[in-house]
Amino acid sequence: MSYKSFACCVATFVALNIALHHVASAASFYTQRLDDPRAIYLMKEEFGAHADGVGDDTEALQKAIDAVVKTTIRGIVFVPEGTYRLSNTIRIWPGIRVIGYGRTRPIFVLRDSAAGFQGAPAYVFHFAGNIPGHTGNAGFVFQPGDEPTSASARQPIEFTAPALEANPGTF
């Protein structure tokens, strides 16, 4: 490779990284926390979220999403700005919205060498078309499956039946 080709590759790489960083750290639409008494807020005190890009936030984010199911069936999880490191698939159940707020948008990164993401395609965020084992509420039709084993609204829902893919009714 000639020096000119190498310099061109380096310049392209630098420009791409700057562009990706700009997109990832773009200004948020919701710059301040919205107060919604029915919403769930992903906070360190309640769910153990780190939002520092170092600690694993997978369990905290899933607990917050599952808390919506256990309290209002469908609703919103507000995520404050920060960098959230994930190591496993996050299941977003039907009728649940995950909305970021703060000066900049929250950033979700997959941990290096996360188990289950090395071979076949895998989801970081899986928009599910059902909540396995949930009997349904207010017009939602859920697929039959095993009952959740966790009783606390702040603990993740554990299922033995698979979650189905999202469909137009999910959104």
In this structure, what token pair is assigned to residue 13? 């790489």
Which residues make Cβ contacts (< 8 Å) with residue 21, sequence separation at least 6?
none
Backbone angles phi, psi at 162, to 5 degrees: -75, 150
Three-state SS annotation for the chain: CCHHHHHHHHHHHHHHHHHHHHHHCCECCCCCCCCCCCCEECCHHHHCCCCEEEEECHHHHHHHHHHHHHHCCCEEEEEECCEEEECCCEEECCCEEEEEECCECCEEEECCCCCCCCCCCCCCEEEECCCCCCCCCCCCCCCCCCCCCCCCCCCCCCCCCCCCECCHHHC
The whole-angstrom separation of Cα 68 and Cα 157 is: 11
pLDDT exceeding 90 applies to what percent of the chain? Answer: 43
Give dist(CA 11, CA 167) in Å, integer: 42
Phi, psi of 83 (to 5 degrees): -110, 120
Number of neighbouring beta carbons within 10 Å of residue 9: 11
pLDDT digits (tens, 9 = 90+) for 138-162: 444 444 444 444 444 444 555 555 6
Least confident of 9-23, 50-64, 69-83: 9-23
Residue 83 · residue 107 · CB < 8 Å = yes
Range with top average pLDDT, 19-23, 114-118, 147-151: 114-118
Of the candidate ranges 23-32, 51-60, 82-91, 162-171, the one whose mean pLDDT is the lowest:
162-171
Q: pLDDT tens digit string along 25-41?
A: 678 888 999 999 999 99
Statement: the pTM of the whole predicted model exceeds 0.75: no
